[in-house]
Amino acid sequence: MAARTFSLILLPTLQCNADCDYCFEDKTDDRLSLARLEILIDKVLDHLVVKAIGALTIHWQGGEVMTLPPAWFDAAHRLIGTAAANRGVVVTHGLQTNMIGYGPRWNEVIREMFDNQVGTSVDYPNLYRHRHGKDAADYDRILTENIGQARAAGIEVRAIAVPNAQTLAIGAERFYDHVVGTLGIRSFQVNTPFPGGSPNAAKRDLSLDSAALTRFFVDLAEVWLARGDRDGVRVGPFDELLSVFLDAPSILPCIWTDDCANHILCIDARGNVAQCDCWVASYPDYWFGNLFDADSLDSLLAENPVRERFHQRPMALVARDCIDCDYLALCHGGCPVRTFSVHGTLFEKDPHCELYRSLFGHMAAAAARLARDAQRR
User: Using CB under 6 A as the criterion, which residues of the chain lie in contact with ligand SF4 when the complex forms?
Assistant: 16, 18-20, 23, 25, 62-64, 98, 129, 254-255, 260, 264, 275-276, 321-322, 325, 327-328, 331, 333-337, 349-350, 353, 356-357
In the complex, the smallest distance separating the C-beta of residue 202 from ligand SF4, rounded to whole angstroms, is 11
In the complex, the smallest distance separating the C-beta of residue 372 from ligand SF4, rounded to whole angstroms, is 25
In the complex, the smallest distance separating the C-beta of residue 330 from ligand SF4, rounded to whole angstroms, is 7
Which amino acid belongs to residue 237? P
| Residue among 83 and 268 whose Cβ is closer to ligand SF4 | 268
Residue pair 100/64 in contact by the 8 Å Cβ criterion: yes
The shares of helix, strand and coil residues in the chain, as percent rounded to the nearest 5, are 50, 15, 35
| Residue among 37 and 331 whose Cβ is closer to ligand SF4 | 331
CA–CA dist 16, 24 (Å, integer) = 12
Residue ranges in 224-263 assigned as alpha helix (H)? 229-231, 238-245
Smallest CA-to-CA distance from 197 within 336, 350, 342 is with 342
| Residue among 252 and 370 whose Cβ is closer to ligand SF4 | 252
In the complex, the smallest distance separating the C-beta of residue 37 from ligand SF4, rounded to whole angstroms, is 20
CA–CA dist 143, 140 (Å, integer) = 5
In the complex, the smallest distance separating the C-beta of residue 186 from ligand SF4, rounded to whole angstroms, is 22
| Residue among 89 and 335 whose Cβ is closer to ligand SF4 | 335
| Residue among 175 and 279 whose Cβ is closer to ligand SF4 | 279
Residue pair 287/272 in contact by the 8 Å Cβ criterion: yes
CA–CA dist 138, 358 (Å, integer) = 37
In the complex, the smallest distance separating the C-beta of residue 375 from ligand SF4, rounded to whole angstroms, is 29
The enclosing H or E element of 85 equals helix 70-87
How far from chain centre, in Å, is Cα 253?
A: 8
| Residue among 64 and 268 whose Cβ is closer to ligand SF4 | 64
